[in-house]
Structure 1
């Protein structure tokens, strides 16, 4: 605890401080790059998002007994 630095007070009236937080890796002056990154992220998320059928299978898998889950996993390993 002795090595901790005091928290700096945020002063919105300070010169050069427009009140906008800066996130690492995101530059606001390159909005076209941000839009491209968001579109790419949306594509990747769409690929890994479960279908309705997969959600139902997962729900059923979770509700079954431990013995049935073991048998299912053994069948999938083949």
Structure 2
């Protein structure tokens, strides 16, 4: 019984920490599009990528803090400007 309570306590603490990652974002926009690679005017080549469709907010973009990008397995880090 003590082992069970200890395990439950560990899972509850771990689950709370994992949940905190998602609290700052609103969840990624389910609508996305691919962008072809291109060369900037500075000569830097930009690889093709997938981005969320524009919708008037940055809070659901892949790069916004708390949101997950399923295409490359990363979490966003940017603070939205609007």
Instruction: Report which of the two has the higher share of strand.
Output: 2
The structure whose Rg is larger is 1
TM-score (norm 2): 0.35
Instruction: Report which of the two has the higher share of helix.
Output: 1
TM-score (norm 1): 0.36
Answer 1 or 2: higher relative contact order, Cα 8 Å, separation at least 6. 2
